């Protein structure tokens, strides 16, 4: 079998490149088993920690937080994370004039609703969502006292057994279970078989959570519309678009930021050596959860699993950047979705909006997870 290293060489991508010295040779079996992405994750972790070790102020090595895959967290941290999210669901909203915003958790739905046309399928997608997760981490700490690990979810570990995932198995240390099965329902995305749920979550944490905002199709989506949290866990979507192979291919076959971010979002781009990426791992992760609000493009951030999903997207960006750090502190594109309406090419000095949840920062300030202004974290390989 042709190795990944040989595929890169055939595409002319390794000649004279710093990345040639860091990426090992991988067989397809190593990619599919997860061995490849674990090795890449360790390289990225070591490279980022080496940069932090050189810092004398800000994000020094002793201050770096370690983000972990959900199943690698202690049970105490899993429980603490759940309880802190529940705390936000009981804390007052910072939006004074949004009828449906009943809590600090709802604030994230409002912000995502307003920002969606400006932070998807454009230059801000990766770094805005990176900062968005960090803002949540700060709220969990400052409002609710959670100081434990911030999680990510590696979807590919659960493809084929979503109902048994430690994230969604309905156990005490999960994020709650699947929705009750709804006969004859359709998948939330075309080209996939329906999932195994579709109705209200009835087991585990968040089974009593009331979704207040949305859906987008409502006449007034920011008005109060209380309803249950629904999920439709979908193995078919996970296998097609969020497998470990899908995830690893994005890292191995994208040598510039434009291709990398387009591959993640399923924009039909061809990667190095003509590689294709289908509907993309961003879509794959979201629709592996599905449900209401998980399938709602604008209000999906009200689903507790959203932040673990985007934690994994950020982890991939972290790995990709740190495999060739000097060349991968870049963005590409404009500030509007699919550049519609047409807008100026985005610059690192452009501002990203997070008020009233947190202070606004520039795009460039979120570039380095160990940059210390304000970020200071790395991702532990699972």
Q: Could you read off the pLDDT of 119-141 as tens digits, one per residue?
A: 999 999 999 999 999 999 999 99
Mean pLDDT score, 280-287: 98
- Could you tell me which CATH number the domain at 4-379 has? 1.10.1280.10
Is the pLDDT assigned to residue 7 strictly greater than 50? no
Token digits of residue 88: 């936000």
Q: What is the pLDDT of residue 9?
A: 36
| Torsion-angle region of 352 (φ positive above 0: left; ψ -120 to 50: alpha; else: beta) | beta
Residue 23's pLDDT band, with cuts at 50, 70 and 90, is confident
**Residues 338, 312: Cα–Cα separation, whole Å:** 23
Is the pLDDT assigned to residue 3 strictly greater than 60? no
Residue 10's pLDDT band, with cuts at 50, 70 and 90, is very low
Residue 62 burial by CB count (10 A; 0-12/13-18/19+): exposed, middle or buried? exposed
List, for residues 66-87, the tens digit of each pLDDT value.
Answer: 999 999 999 999 999 999 999 9
Is the pLDDT assigned to residue 227 strictly greater than 50? yes
Count, in order, helices (H) and strands (E) of the chain. 11, 9
What percent of the chain stands above pLDDT 90? 93
Phi, psi (rounded to 5 degrees) for 210: -100, 120
Q: What is the pLDDT of residue 15?
A: 31
Residue 317's pLDDT band, with cuts at 50, 70 and 90, is very high
Q: What is the pLDDT of residue 24?
A: 85
Token digits of residue 123: 């230059």
User: Which of 4-8, 86-90, 323-327, 356-360 is predicted least confidently?
Assistant: 4-8
Residue 4's pLDDT band, with cuts at 50, 70 and 90, is very low
Is the pLDDT assigned to residue 88 strictly greater than 80? yes
- Residue 209 is given by DSSP the state P
Q: What is the pLDDT of residue 25?
A: 86
Query: What pTM does this model have?
Result: 0.94
Question: Which is higher by pLDDT, 1 or 351?
Answer: 351
Residue 22's pLDDT band, with cuts at 50, 70 and 90, is low
Is the pLDDT assigned to residue 18 strictly greater than 80? no
**Residues 85, 279: Cα–Cα separation, whole Å:** 30
How many Cβ atoms are within 10 Å of 241's Cβ, its own excluded? 27
Is the pLDDT assigned to residue 144 strictly greater than 70? yes
User: In the block, which residue shows the tokens 């599919």?
Assistant: 32
Supply the mean pLDDT for the chain. 94
User: Which of 11-20, 92-101, 161-170 is predicted least confidently?
Assistant: 11-20
Q: What is the pLDDT of residue 2?
A: 38
């Amino acid at each position: 079998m042709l190795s990944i290293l040989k595929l890169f060489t055939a595409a002319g991508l390794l000649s004279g490149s710093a990345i040639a010295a860091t990426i090992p040779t991988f067989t397809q079996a190593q990619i599919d088993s997860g061995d490849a992405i674990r090795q890449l994750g360790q390289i990225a972790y070591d490279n980022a920690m080496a940069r932090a070790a050189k810092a004398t102020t800000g994000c020094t090595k002793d201050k770096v937080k370690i983000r972990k895959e959900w199943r690698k967290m202690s049970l105490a941290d899993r429980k603490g994370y759940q309880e802190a999210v529940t705390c936000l669901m009981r804390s007052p909203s910072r939006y004074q004039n949004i009828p449906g915003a009943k809590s600090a958790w709802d604030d994230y739905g409002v912000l995502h609703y307003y920002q969606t046309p400006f932070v998807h399928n454009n230059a801000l997608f990766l770094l805005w969502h990176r900062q968005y997760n960090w803002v949540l981490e700060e709220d969990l700490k400052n409002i609710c006292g959670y100081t434990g690990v911030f999680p990510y979810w590696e979807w590919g570990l659960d493809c084929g057994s979503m109902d048994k995932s430690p994230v969604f198995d309905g156990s005490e240390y999960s994020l709650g279970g699947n929705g009750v099965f709804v006969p004859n329902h359709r998948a939330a995305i075309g080209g996939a078989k329906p999932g195994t749920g579709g109705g209200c979550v009835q087991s585990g944490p968040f089974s009593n959570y009331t979704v207040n905002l949305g859906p987008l199709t409502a006449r007034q989506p920011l008005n109060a519309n209380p309803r249950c949290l629904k999920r439709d866990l979908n193995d078919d979507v996970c296998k097609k678009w969020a497998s470990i192979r899908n995830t690893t291919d994005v890292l191995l076959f994208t040598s510039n930021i434009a291709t990398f971010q387009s591959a993640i979002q399923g924009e039909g781009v061809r990667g190095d050596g003509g590689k294709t990426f289908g509907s993309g791992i961003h879509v794959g992760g979201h629709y592996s959860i599905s449900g209401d609000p998980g399938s709602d493009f604008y209000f999906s951030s009200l689903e507790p699993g959203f932040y673990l999903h985007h934690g994994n997207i950020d982890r991939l960006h972290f790995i990709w950047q740190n495999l060739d750090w000097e060349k991968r502190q870049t963005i590409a594109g404009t500030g509007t979705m699919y550049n519609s309406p047409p807008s100026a090419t985005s610059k690192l000095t452009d501002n990203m909006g997070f008020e009233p949840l947190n202070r606004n920062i520039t795009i460039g300030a979120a570039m380095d997870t160990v940059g210390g202004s304000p970020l200071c974290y790395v991702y532990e390989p699972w």
